[in-house]
Structure 1
Amino acid sequence: MTIEATADPLHVDEAFARPADHEAISRAAKGLSERNYTTHVVDTVAAARALVRDLLPRDKAIFTANSESVRLSGLGADIDEGGEFVSVRAKLAGADPADIRAQITMGATPDVILGSVHAVTEDGLLVVTSFSGSQLGPYAAGAEQVVYLVGAQKVVPDLDTALRRVRTHSLPIVRNVMRERGTDSFMGKTLILEREFLDDRATVVLTREAIGF
């Protein structure tokens, strides 16, 4: 899908860029814990980065999902470029670019996936949407361990608001970036995570600072 790079920017609802207050974050953390997510709340992105680094194993393959939160926090570079971790993306860099199926398979069942979501409700639901859906399978079941880094601006009161945040804030931001490159994006698949069925499988690190979109 290609478009003119000069297309007018889409409207972004900036109300969803404001970090939630401490009480809302505390309610979300409680809701996540009740849904079997190991949950941490930290004050800053720097603290979240340090905590996630401590949580991630050094001897298992880690896939970094396409996530602005992961990229902006520095964790993407830590894992994929630093040499300290076993990076799936580093392995993919050496794969045959024509073998798309092999690349999809490597990313579908990593030992660990690190990523983010587009919204967290105050009762602990996680909502994430994707153009291709490549990270959704590992989030749901394909990965042995999942770690989500989530900024405070993604905490919303309920599921209806979460879906509205995706459509009116996250999606137009992505589409505007893609339009500047002469292409476009869309909501291909949306995953609503209601509860983690395995103990200690999924961890959510909530930071009181905003990060990502």
Structure 2
Amino acid sequence: MEAPPLDEAFAVPAAEDQLERAAKGLRERGYAVHIVDGPEDARALVSALVPVDKEVFTASSETLRTAGIAADLDESGRFRSVRAQLAELDIAAQIRMGATPDVVVGSVHAVTEDGIMVAASASGSQLASYAAGARQAIWVVGAQKVVADLDTALRRIRTYSLPREWVRLQEVYGQPSFVGKILILEREMPDRGTVILIRSEIGF
């Protein structure tokens, strides 16, 4: 099986005015928003935002891995990492812990200029915590994921995120990927969600 066609146009970081429009839209929809210059800034900010006395779940994310955020939260010993505990649990317990952590840190595949976020997943393992399961949610998002509207966001999943993840899984596990579930985040409850927009390209 071959990977789906890749649209490289979705790898281009958004301009500053697009980022500002997305930040404004997100704030109007209930999110706290930070715009930072690069991955290291996002990494430092996440470490400052995540409480050290609460359980934190890192959703599978190339953005978190590449920025070093996943390693900070799961391997440094400073935080109560859910993922660090999962290997010792059965599958049912792993799913429950990942669905209802105190804090989830992850990413999304697209953010529209009016503040809608879209996340896709094969298994859906991170989507429960994104939608409602976690008491606090933090999303770290590269500038190339900012798009004009929801139709474009959904097209980005199919023509950029999926092909990139397909290739990654083939290289790591020898198997293709697929879109199993899509979550559309239109609005957030007060004081729950934080979005960190990075001015550079990172993740899929």
The alignment's TM-score, normalised by the length of structure 1, stands at: 0.93
Query: By how many angstroms is 1:35 displaced?
Result: 0.1
Query: By how many angstroms is 1:208 displaced?
Result: 0.3
Q: Distance in 2 between matches of 1:37 and 1:10?
A: 33
Query: By how many angstroms is 1:100 displaced?
Result: 1.1
Residue 41 (structure 1) aligns with: 35
Residue 46 (structure 2) aligns with: 52
2:174 counterpart (179, 182, 185): 182
SS at match of 2:96: helix
Taking the TM superposition and a 5 Å limit, the aligned residue runs for 1:119-158 are 119-158=110-149
Query: Which 5+ residue runs of structure 1 have no aligned equivalent?
Result: 1-6
How many residues in Structure 1 have an aligned counterpart in Structure 2? 203
Query: By how many angstroms is 1:9 displaced?
Result: 4.5
CA root-mean-square deviation: 1.0
Query: By how many angstroms is 1:68 displaced?
Result: 0.4
Asked whether the equivalents of residues 4 and 159 of structure 2 are also in contact (C-alpha less than 8 Å), the reply is no
- 1:75 aligned to 2:69? yes
Q: Distance in 2 between matches of 1:191 and 1:185?
A: 17
Greater mean alpha carbon deviation, residues 47-56 or residues 29-38? 47-56
- % identical aligned pairs: 61
Asked whether the equivalents of residues 16 and 165 of structure 1 are also in contact (C-alpha less than 8 Å), the reply is yes
Query: By how many angstroms is 1:93 displaced?
Result: 2.3
Query: By how many angstroms is 1:184 displaced?
Result: 1.5
Query: Deviation above 4 Å: which 4+ runs of structure 1?
Result: none
Asked whether the equivalents of residues 10 and 176 of structure 1 are also in contact (C-alpha less than 8 Å), the reply is no
Query: Which 5+ residue runs of structure 2 have no aligned equivalent?
Result: none
- 1:65 aligned to 2:41? no
2:163 counterpart (172, 187, 198): 172
Asked whether the equivalents of residues 56 and 101 of structure 2 are also in contact (C-alpha less than 8 Å), the reply is yes
Q: Distance in 1 between matches of 2:114 and 2:75?
A: 36
